[in-house]
Amino acid sequence: MILHVDMDAFYASIEQRDRPELRGRPVVVGGSEGRGVVTAASYEAREYGIHSAMPGSRAIKLCPHADFVRGRLDHYASVGRAVREIFHRFTPVVQPLSLDEAFLDVSGTIRLHGSPREIGNNIRETIRRELDLPASVGIAPLKFVAKIASDIGKPNGFVEVPADGVREFLDPLPVSRLWGVGKVGQTKLQRLGYRTIADLRVKEVEALKSQLGRWGEHLWNLANGIDRRRVVVDHLARGIGHERTFSEDLSDIESLNAVVSYLSEQTARRLRRARRLASTITLKYRREDFQTFSRARKLSAPTDSTLEILQVAEELLLEMRSREPRSVRLLGISLGGLTDADAPKQLNLFGEETGENASSKVDTLSDQIASKLGKHSVYRASSHQWVDRKKDKRQF
């Protein structure tokens, strides 16, 4: 059997846990300056229609008395690792989807830890006891059914779907519950007369294929409880990144370079802390009119060097500015193609001569200082304009 464990309003719940005066109140993480975007909303805030990815200005209008707090991504990641450690106490077969949710295959640990229901209850209780956070659990023989089950039970839910009860569970649900059906897909399906999963299940597969192509066959399989996807252990994160939305659009290259410098430093530090190397660097670039672009560059060799990441990021920024010179609303830096830092790699015979060792020592020292005194205790001179600006406006 497969478990899907999903932390409830993870970021907001952490804030409510750490600050008891926020418990029971509408809490919004991010978006406090109006130009930012909501990162997470407590269930009390969701009652007012606030949700993640919503513009902060809209969230403020919906609930002016909500408590807006600045996100603490490093802290959330630390708590996420603690949650992941609890998962691994019950099974080694864990497939993380994000910081706050994962699939677990408990088929091989039933003799050790009890039935899937007992394991699910124990995981939820352990998270509550040790971390003082709520979680929802879905149990089913199929991945997508386990995810639907945990979503339906939120918050603090527990839903088990037995192997012989998949059809009964799925049939009355709206088609929007199926993987791959978003708002556009839901509208299209409803226009064709498909409103519930049962409507898709009873249809001939060839008829769905003629209407919807391969997507129709995919939906028919899910509606009939056919899903061959297994829980896959994900040893490496797919990517690490940081981005910032500005309270005022930026257009001067000095300010933009300062932002890129800051983001590169923070992203590289997270990369080293995770003991990973990156082989691809991507710049995310959103104009004032919300048009979003990205440019990526593959490196000749994987790296965790702040200097190397920064140099490439600055080159990507210059390329983007020449193509899209309008004012900028958001910048982001992400690192992909991650590999284990302990993996064998080709050494540079001229490392000392090119300054690579000196750069590595600077990274090591800055990491040590940041771990003791905070991420804003040490940073490159090129980041100063942005760090100083954000400290003044309290937008970190």
Angle at 68 between CA 386 and CA 128, to 5 degrees: 110
**DSSP helix/strand/coil, 213:** coil
**For residue 219, which amino acid is it?**
L
DSSP letters for 72-105? -HHHHHHHHHHHHHHHHHH-S-EEEEETTEEEEE
- Cα–Cα distances in angstroms (integers) from residue 388 to residues 60, 259, 311, 392, in the given order: 26, 11, 22, 6
CA distance linking residue 42 with residue 154, whole number of Å: 12
Cis, bond preceding 64 (omega within 30 deg of 0): no
CA distances from 253 to 138, 229, 277, 322, 331 (A): 49, 47, 29, 11, 12
CB 386 within 8 A of CB 257: no
Contacts of 135 (CB under 8 A, 6+ apart): 5, 6, 7, 8, 83, 123, 124, 127, 128, 156
Q: Which amino acid does the sequence have at 31?
A: G
Label residue 369 left, alpha or beta by phi (over 0 means left) and psi (-120 to 50 means alpha): alpha
Known catalytic residues? 101
Cα–Cα distance between 41 and 23 in angstroms, integer? 13
Q: How far apart are the first and last CA of the chain?
A: 42
- The one-letter amino acid code at 375 reads K
Residue 386 structure tokens: 């942005």
Per-residue tokens: 330: 């958001």
